[in-house]
Amino acid sequence: MNATIVLLIGGLAILLVGVGLLGTLLGVRAALEAFGNAETGLIMTGYYAGYIIGTIIGPGIVQRVGHVRAFATFAALAAASSLAFGLWVESWAWFGLRILSGACVVGVYMVVESWLNAQTPSGRRGRVFASYMFSTLIALAAGQFLLLTYNPHGLELFAIATMLIVIGLVPIAATRVTEPKIELAAPLPLARLLRLSPLGSVGVFCAGTVNGAFWGMTAVFAQRLDMGPAEIASLMSATILGGALLQWPIGHLSDRHDRRSVLVGVALTCAATALGAAWMVSREYPGLALVAFFYGGLMFSLYGLSVAHANDHIEPSHVLAATRGLLLMYGLGASAGPLVGGVVMDLVGPIGLPVFSAFVLFALAGFGVFRVTRRAAPPMEQQSEFVPLVRTSPVVLEMHPDADLQPELDLEGSSH
């Protein structure tokens, strides 16, 4: 990788350390401020609502004002909103700020990823894509341990998150790169995705639901169990690291077997792991972080498995449009996860979060078993390759290894 790519990935990684800290800090502080679980879930849903809004309006903003101005706008608002959380501790204000934060972070992703795409030679696309996905999860995991530096009651941790977001922008802003165009063709309509790959579409939605519940409510879950900052940081980082490390062997397995069977097996095992975590919590047994590591590896794999399965049934020229549609489906699921998880926690207590996730995963596994009876699996040699995925922005899909298959077609007959 050349120096420009390293600077772009490194700068964004620093920014994401701050973003990772902020997400967990909000859950901890919400519990300390006696916000209700459902109330907190609604706040956390705001981030994914902002993500969807940013995905829709972000490309137009970049095209109108240019990469540099758009980047400065998104970055300034992301940093300002991070500090505003600590200055304005009201649930309704946090909901609005979370929407703004989600829209701005996805805007930053879009600009950086478009620059990254322009700097990545075609032959190295897969390597850069994998490095980018891995660094994203490692940065988010590293941010968890900054929770130990100050008391979450104060403003200091919000200030640290803001500083990291700003510092992460410096190597990116100082990099000399061209301004490529962001032209996202329309994603496949969700109804058409459901017809082409019912299991892939439902799998992505369920993956978004459990991932959204994890990112939005795990810190609240831990705080309700009277865990200290070190335990919360360990729980969060163990889950994220599991997702960073275990996706590769799971994906390798799915490339050599009927991917539907692997998806069903991963969903069932992940559900059992979630129930195991609930049982450990109810019995006050140690070892929750270890269980979280395996849960993270299984949970984070569901998105990539579902996308790969969907791509097995889609024409190569439509792969990127389909993957963008699946990304929207993931966002809808992620928007539902924190809110429904919070409501369940209000009804049955903290263990409601892993129980809710297990229910979603069992439902996914059941639907997978049903789909196995309705369609034959494609031949092994026709299966697409599993690619570890992290939800960032649709622009990063230009680096997806399948982007080299054929030029993408605009399915709606117009460019955006």
Give residue 171's pLDDT: 84
SS3 labels along the chain: CCHHHHHHHHHHHHHHHHHHHHHHHHHHHHHHCCCCHHHHHHHHHHHHHHHHHHHHHHHHHHHHHCHHHHHHHHHHHHHHHHHHHHHCCCHHHHHHHHHHHHHHHHHHHHHHHHHHHHHCCHHHHHHHHHHHHHHHHHHHHHHHHHHHCCCCCCCHHHHHHHHHHHHHHHHHHCCCCCCCCCCCCCCCCHHHHHHHCHHHHHHHHHHHHHHHHHHHHHHHHHHHCCCCHHHHHHHHHHHHHHHHHHHHHHHHHHCCCCHHHHHHHHHHHHHHHHHHHHHHHHHCCCCHHHHHHHHHHHHHHHHHHHHHHHHCCCCHHHHHHHHHHHHHHHHHHHHHHHHHHHHHHHHHCCCHHHHHHHHHHHHHHHHHHHHHCCCCCCCHHHCCCCCCCCCCCHHHHHHCHHHHCCCCCCCCCCCC
Q: Distance between CA 21 and CA 28 in Å, rounded?
A: 11
| Rounded-to-integer distance, Cα 338 and Cα 109, Å | 22
CA distance linking residue 57 with residue 413, whole number of Å: 20
Q: Would you state the pLDDT for residue 400?
A: 66
pLDDT at 204: 94
Q: What is the C-alpha separation between 211 and 330, in angstroms, rounded?
A: 9
Within a 10 A sphere around the Cβ of 398, how many other Cβ atoms? 21
Check residue 8 and give its pLDDT: 85
φ/ψ of 407, rounded to 5, equals: -60, 140
- d(C-alpha 230, C-alpha 401), whole Å: 38
Nearest to 308 by CA among 395, 250, 374, 242: 250
pLDDT at 408 (0 to 100):
41
Closest CA to 240 of 8, 7, 24, 11: 24
CA distance 308 to 1: 26
At residue 409, the pLDDT reads 38
Give pLDDT, residue 311: 82
Q: Name the burial class of residue 324, with classes exposed (0-12), middle (13-18) and buried (19+) by CB atoms within 10 angstroms of its CB.
A: buried
Instruction: List the structure tokens of 61.
Output: 């903003």
pLDDT at residue 320, as a whole number: 74
pLDDT tens-digit series, residues 193-224: 888 889 999 999 999 999 999 999 999 999 99
Residues contacting 230, CB < 8 A, separation 6+: 148
Whole-number pLDDT of residue 402: 61
Closest CA to 133 of 392, 402, 333: 392
Alpha carbon 370 to chain centroid distance? 27
Q: Which sign does the torsion angle of CA 198, 204, 207, 208 carry?
A: negative
The Cα 25–Cα 97 span in angstroms is 14
Q: Say if residues 41 and 165 touch (Cβ distance below 8 Å).
A: no
Residue 407, pLDDT score = 45
Please list the rounded mean pLDDT of every run of 10 residues in the chain (416 residues).
Answer: 82 93 96 95 95 88 82 90 96 96 91 81 74 91 95 96 92 74 70 88 96 96 94 96 92 86 96 96 91 96 90 76 84 95 96 97 96 77 74 71 50 34
- At 252 the pLDDT is 85
Instruction: Say what angle helices 3-32 and 156-173 make with each other, to 10 degrees.
Output: 160
Instruction: State the pLDDT at residue 244.
Output: 92
| Cβ-based neighbour number of residue 384 at 10 Å | 21
- pTM for the model: 0.90
- Give the whole-angstrom CA distance, residue 191 versus residue 189: 5
Q: Please, which residues have CB within 8 angstroms of residue 22's CB and are 6 or more apart in sequence? A: 82, 85, 101, 143, 158, 161
What's residue 382's pLDDT?
67
Give the CA distances from residue 200 to residues 319, 329, 406, in Å, rounded to whole numbers and listed in that order: 13, 10, 21
Fold of 3-404: Growth Hormone; Chain: A; (1.20.1250)
